Amino acid sequence: MTTSQAAFNASAGTSPVLHLEGVTRVHGRGAAEVHALRDVDLKVYPGEFVAVMGPSGAGKSTLLTLAGGLDSPTAGRVLVEGTALGGLGRKKLAEVRRRSIGYVFQDYNLIPALTAAENITLPRELDGVSTRAARREALAALEELGIAQLADRFPEEMSGGQQQRVAIARALIGERRLVLADEPTGALDSATGESVLALLRARCDAGAAAMMVTHEARHAAWADRVVFLRDGRLVDESVSQDAGSLLV
């Protein structure tokens, strides 16, 4: 889907894949209180690739964890494909996260006791996909990321960049309609980083929505839209070509 198609979706009454409504997240109490996010409103539509930028501590990872249902807002609502995550029980929430949301963590979060392929197949098997079919999907995803030969290695036997690519493969397999990635290119060389961005772009062009935290304007240029956070507030939004000017 092109940028104009994504914009068309936004104006034609298409429902957003992700909708944050007045989302606030406060950590701690009293003197230790930290407003990680303040009254954030954001909609991400099918086909849209959104980059999230801002200084360290601005609330970028908090925004992603809330969007992915890994944390709950202090105030406001998070809706994924029209379902308010706050209204779901633990089991139902875990199901939505497995089925609809692919998440690439800032520190990868691979399960140390499982191989690369097993890390990728676990959520699929929990969803009822057969071991054989899940393995086939995992190998295809690893191939796409250029690390098919690492399928049977454990995380501790891989470099940081290789682990990061396994985490990306895990987020991309299945029918995930919302892909959330926290600095997914941090440990990658520039050519590998660009290929990961191209994969995310292709996933959005096929109709998914993605939100990616990045510190690099060059990477944000792959997105349709850049949202900029400062001190927990969404302070600016622009089309990606303007990302460079937001950094100065």
Ligand X SMILES: Nc1ncnc2c1ncn2[C@@H]1O[C@H](COP(=O)(O)OP(=O)(O)OP(=O)(O)O)[C@@H](O)[C@H]1O
Q: Which of 177, 167, 14 is nearest to 97 (CA)?
A: 177
Please, is 25 exposed, middle or buried when counting C-beta atoms within 10 Å of its C-beta (0-12, 13-18, 19+)? buried
* Stretch of residues binding Mg ion (CB under 5 A), selected from 23-31, 55-63, 91-99, 239-247: 55-63
DSSP 202-225: HHHHTT-EEEEE-S-HHHHTTSSE
Closest to ligand X by CB, 36 or 141: 36
Closest to ligand X by CB, 62 or 192: 62
- At residue 20, the 3 state secondary structure works out as strand
- Binding partner of residue 34 among Mg ion, ligand X, none, CB cut-off 5 to 8 Å per kind: ligand X
Instruction: Name residues whose C-beta falls within 8 Å of residue 248's C-beta, 6 or more positions apart in sequence.
Output: none
The number of beta carbons lying within 10 Å of the beta carbon of residue 95 is: 14
Q: How far is the CB of 85 from ligand X (least distance, A)?
A: 18
Q: How far is the CB of 216 from ligand X (least distance, A)?
A: 12
What is the Cα–Cα distance from 101 to 171, expressed in whole angstroms? Answer: 8
Q: Which residues bind ligand X (CB under 6 A)?
A: 27-28, 34, 36, 54, 56-62
Q: How far is the CB of 107 from Mg ion (least distance, A)?
A: 10
Instruction: Copy the structure tokens of residue 125.
Output: 């098997």
What is the Cα–Cα distance from 183 to 187, expressed in whole angstroms? Answer: 9
Stretch 88-127: interaction string toward Mg ion, x if CB under 5 A: ----------------------------------------
- Binding partner of residue 111 among ligand X, Mg ion, none, CB cut-off 5 to 8 Å per kind: none
Number of residues that bind Mg ion (CB under 5 A): 1
Q: Verify binding: residue 61, Mg ion, rule CB under 5 A.
A: yes
Q: How far is the CB of 29 from ligand X (least distance, A)?
A: 10
The number of beta carbons lying within 10 Å of the beta carbon of residue 55 is: 13
Q: Verify binding: residue 65, Mg ion, rule CB under 5 A.
A: no
Closest to Mg ion by CB, 60 or 124: 60
Interface contacts to Mg ion, rule CB under 5 A: 61
